[in-house]
Amino acid sequence: MTAIKYYWEHFVPGWEYVSPARSLSAQEITAFAREYDPQTYHTDEEAAKATPFGGLIASGWQTCAVAMRLMCDGYLLQTSCIGSPGLDEVRWFKPVRPGDALRLHSTALEQTPSQKDPRRGTVKFRWDVLNQNNEVVCRMVARQHYRRRSPAQ
Amino acid sequence: MTAIKYYWEHFVPGWEYVSPARSLSAQEITAFAREYDPQTYHTDEEAAKATPFGGLIASGWQTCAVAMRLMCDGYLLQTSCIGSPGLDEVRWFKPVRPGDALRLHSTALEQTPSQKDPRRGTVKFRWDVLNQNNEVVCRMVARQHYRRRSPAQ
């Protein structure tokens, strides 16, 4: 178990984190897609050329999953996070191609104390996934529940 | 290449599909989590018992990915789908545990012709993931782009 460094109180609106870059190889893209999203443009480099994308692209779900991993490595595993009720928005703006250098830019938007449990709170985040050209390829608006360092009075 | 059976025109509001069941083993849950979402309650059966979930649960991203696979196997690979701009909502209502029998219930909500390209259109869907108790464990509201069988006049 990693020690908890950051509780709900830490994520004040405006808090930001930018991760190091991580890329997906063609092999990682097709392996994920064969398991979870076997559409041609995700599984077959040759056949993908004839699709509107003109070549192999990552499943949008894999882009989200990579963002999650960058978050875990960057800060989430050091927090009191106890899950997520969901997302208000997911947008896939640009295709992610093999070798694209993906970074996560996480921004805290809102901090809400739990109405039910004084030991918990929720944070709303924007999670942008950027590529090597600083284009936002994917945007998510999400909520996560965290334990508080100190219970609400 | 699979032949295309279903184009944009097929997905009239009210269209529904319910998939066969698919479960995730503890090993599949931890394998996905080690790669993409290494939070304790997703990676470690023993340590997960001490978390608010009381045991191992699947990453929410894996639940979404399984829904995508059920959709691909059920109908998507036989359609003219050319990608998704994103989702308006993702909700994870209930934990998904090893062995839960997950089904996808897909419902077409809206059909919108493309403003830019008479050969394309968009469909808005609700995708519910149900477990063996008919509980909705995950709900997504999403859009997908499809080629039309016949261009708009």
Closest chain A CA to residue B36:
A69
Q: Give the whole-angstrom CA distance, residue A107 versus residue A14.
A: 6
Which of B28, B35, B66 is best to mutate for the A interface (most A CBs within 10 A)?
A: B35
Two structure tokens written together for B82: 């050319």
Report helix angle B60-74 to A60-74, nearest 10. 170
- Name A57's bridge partners: none
Write out pLDDT tens, residues A38-83. Answer: 999 999 999 999 998 999 999 999 999 999 999 999 999 999 999 9
Region B38-65: mean pLDDT is 96
Write out pLDDT tens, residues B98-122. Answer: 999 999 999 999 999 999 999 999 9
pLDDT for the residue A131: 98
φ/ψ of A41, rounded to 5, equals -70, -5
Q: A142 near A88, Cβ under 8 Å?
A: yes
Q: A2 near A72, Cβ under 8 Å?
A: no
The C-alpha torsion from A92 through A93 and A94 to A99, rounded to 10°, is: -50
Residues A83, B77: C-beta atoms closer than 8 Å: no
Residues A90, B92: C-beta atoms closer than 8 Å: no
Q: Give the whole-angstrom CA distance, residue A138 versus residue A60.
A: 8
Closest chain A CA to residue B28:
A35
pLDDT for the residue A2: 66
Residues A60, B35: C-beta atoms closer than 8 Å: no
Parallel, antiparallel, or unpaired for β A16-18 and B136-147? Answer: unpaired
Q: Give the whole-angstrom CA distance, residue A6 versus residue A50.
A: 47
Region B33-44: mean pLDDT is 97
CA distances from B14 to B10, B34, B125, B130 (A): 11, 39, 10, 18
B14 CA to chain A: closest CA distance, Å?
A: 23
Whole-prediction pTM value?
A: 0.97
B46 CA to chain A: closest CA distance, Å?
A: 12
Q: What is the ipTM of this complex?
A: 0.96
Lowest-confidence pick of A1-5, B46-50, B52-56, B147-151: A1-5
Chain B hits for A76, Cβ within 8 Å: 39
